Structure 1
């Protein structure tokens, strides 16, 4: 009997011993796919794609597909540069019949003149993973995606898509979840059809805000799934005349969108972080503490990747919200099962990095954090004792207060500056772009300025 479960990239790797791996064309044929979205992201995390008919699947797989890199966005190219040529990673193949019948997506790695392009985020993460693999390590990562469902009012402002979702404390509200039942369950079914293991869908802390969780996996698989999930959520929301936004702070008075990463290191024998003899009572190994120490030491520079937009710092620096919490750390601290810290340790198997937000590029977030943690392991950095519940000691480093400060911290940190493919040039390019992004915003006159200064003197 033929299976009705879609053949996904996870199903395709590895092929049974002695049998060749299926080609992209064969994967597509198994799902009645007619068109492929050959996808890569620029450094902002924006998905770029060409719609490729399945008749050209072999050409895409074996010859690559060309893009004008400068036109694609922030990916290290100028108008005069040669094409980006992207090659698909079949392990990321995902049929998307719930978006459009006959459609599939595959994540691709950009090359220039036959060489992997170091400004391509997926290439950067694979470079870091190769370094860890040389040490016999592989990182496992889980990602929490928060987003708002909004619509546009007649006056052009954004409003909550569900007009009855207006409570100042709507988190986990059963009625709010039920009113969005069709949307949430369609996303859940989509994730599960792809083998992602969706295990929870909830109303988050802001009116109109939701989170849908899927099982952790190796770092590259999880990063690919974040990109695919954002696309799926956005497209299916649009079918119901809603906009799904991962913007860090779309509403002044509400909590914003985070993207928390749950990280652990493994080797062939299993996880490397747990240690029952931990003297600091968090159940962690010495290696895990050194990893934490590296991340904390480099936290200010990391924020350029974890919180990469001007809007990120409206979320991070919010004094309070109508719900009473911002859920965004302001200091580089770590502690136990306490969501006020930059690093939370819910158990000995993993750490939760809480500094990232919904605008983050998952490939760059993971690459930079893993490089920082690896530096901590190499230098056996001691993070000190964990902080108690809700305690933010004055001695803890303050995280950057704006994107401009984060870009400056990135420039000053040689480890994180060179984290992407070992190239400081890539880091400098990114820092330049983020400084320009800040100045572009700073040069716009806002209504707040008019209200504050028009008749000031």
Structure 2
């Protein structure tokens, strides 16, 4: 969709206000609302804002910045109602001189994807953000009490959230996400809605769309959605496992697949994995960026603690899902320590940078930790296997 298409589309949809959205460095969605009558001017000149008031952007003496609309991200907000119908677009950030702002998280991801495009490759990601739904009592503030008593994959009278989850999936579908599954997760009040994998930029946009859609729809049902990695002590936390692969842009082939390899992984895939393992401790600060993130990354709750890779093994940092004959394009590497508190643009940028370093240097992946529950190993056993740990805070 280009600018002309966008102007036509907002008229067809009878949209009254357009939200121009971007994120700060921490991943919080920022938005400025604009009456549609000003759309043509904004598409031509951009929308100016104070960059010094946004976390991590600019100093006060150099604060003028400009938003440029990415028309391809247009979506109507299904909860806005007919009276004052709203839509949103994501924006890229530019300096007054017309250059892309180096500190724009979305711009950072675009830059590294451009380098990948020059190789003829495409970075696909399928994120799996988990979240909790909480309720308040008698009009008081929210407390960490899950609002249902369901468990993993439950569908019964105990899964009170099925109505809310259905509304969430409907809203996400309406906003253009290709929702694949929605289900109750392991902990009480915990849920997951997965959408089809996409190129990294689209996937990052989708993560943000999911997060604020979940919060909006939950609020309509008198609930509060939380994407904190570990909001409740003693139960599973919320991760954002990321299924990754590289595809050839011309042939459409999965560059991770090698039929002759026991794990069906190509040499390029092994180097990709090796790069992310090599830089795992540094990556932690980006993909698990909060103090609360490290309340999740502890043994016993299906969250990774130790640095290694394996086939099917969910105690490893990187898991290779089981290969199904004939599904070559499904071969992928699941990175398991990201959580939904991260900025997806920055997280995906760092994940790809680590992987490309492994590919460029032809790093060799260590031996797989198949059929080993890493949580049950003592320090001596881990040392013998060459297994190191993620940071603890």
TM-score by length of 2: 0.90
Q: Which residue is 1:369 aligned to?
A: 351
In structure 1, runs of 5+ residues without a counterpart are 1-11, 13-19, 320-324, 403-457
314, 318, 323: which one aligns with 1:343: 318
What count of residue pairs does the alignment treat as equivalent? 371
Q: Which residue is 1:397 aligned to?
A: 388
- The alignment status of 1:303 with 2:284, answered yes or no, reads yes
- The alignment status of 1:44 with 2:26, answered yes or no, reads yes
226, 229, 233: which one aligns with 2:210: 229
State the alpha-carbon separation in 1 of the partners of residues 290 and 41 from structure 2: 37
Residue by residue over 1:303-360, the C-alpha shift from the partner in whole angstroms, topping out at 9 and shown as x without a partner, is 111100011011113x4xxxxx412111111001121111011146111110101201
> What SS class does the counterpart of residue 106 from structure 1 fall into?
strand
Q: Which residue is 2:11 aligned to?
A: 29
- The alignment status of 1:199 with 2:180, answered yes or no, reads yes
Q: Which residue is 2:40 aligned to?
A: 58
| Structure 1 residue 161, shift from structure 2 partner | 4.7
> What SS class does the counterpart of residue 135 from structure 2 fall into?
strand
Residue by residue over 1:427-455, the C-alpha shift from the partner in whole angstroms, topping out at 9 and shown as x without a partner, is xxxxxxxxxxxxxxxxxxxxxxxxxxxxx
State the alpha-carbon separation in 2 of the partners of residues 176 and 88 from structure 1: 45
State the alpha-carbon separation in 1 of the partners of residues 388 and 41 from structure 2: 51
State the alpha-carbon separation in 2 of the partners of residues 372 and 213 from structure 1: 25
Q: Which residue is 1:331 aligned to?
A: 306
Q: Which residue is 1:265 aligned to?
A: 246
| Structure 1 residue 30, shift from structure 2 partner | 2.5
> What SS class does the counterpart of residue 275 from structure 2 fall into?
helix
Maintained 8 Å contact 1:263/1:353: yes
Q: Which residue is 2:128 aligned to?
A: 144
State the alpha-carbon separation in 1 of the partners of residues 182 and 65 from structure 2: 38
Q: Which residue is 2:161 aligned to?
A: 180
TM-score by length of 1: 0.78
For the aligned residue pairs, the C-alpha RMSD in angstroms reads: 1.8
> What SS class does the counterpart of residue 356 from structure 2 fall into?
helix
Q: Which residue is 2:368 aligned to?
A: 386
Maintained 8 Å contact 1:191/1:214: no
Q: Cα gap change, 1:65/1:188 in structure 2, threshold over 3 Å: closer, same or farther?
A: same
State the alpha-carbon separation in 2 of the partners of residues 197 and 160 from structure 1: 31
In structure 2, runs of 5+ residues without a counterpart are 324-329, 375-381
113, 134, 145: which one aligns with 1:160: 145
> What SS class does the counterpart of residue 339 from structure 2 fall into?
coil
Maintained 8 Å contact 2:128/2:193: yes
Residue by residue over 1:3-37, the C-alpha shift from the partner in whole angstroms, topping out at 9 and shown as x without a partner, is xxxxxxxxx3xxxxxxx774432221232211111
Maintained 8 Å contact 1:248/1:358: yes
State the alpha-carbon separation in 2 of the partners of residues 177 and 284 from structure 1: 42
State the alpha-carbon separation in 1 of the partners of residues 308 and 152 from structure 2: 26
| Structure 1 residue 119, shift from structure 2 partner | 1.2
Q: Which residue is 2:327 aligned to?
A: none
| Structure 1 residue 64, shift from structure 2 partner | 0.9
State the alpha-carbon separation in 2 of the partners of residues 242 and 363 from structure 1: 28
| Structure 1 residue 147, shift from structure 2 partner | 0.3
> What SS class does the counterpart of residue 170 from structure 2 fall into?
helix
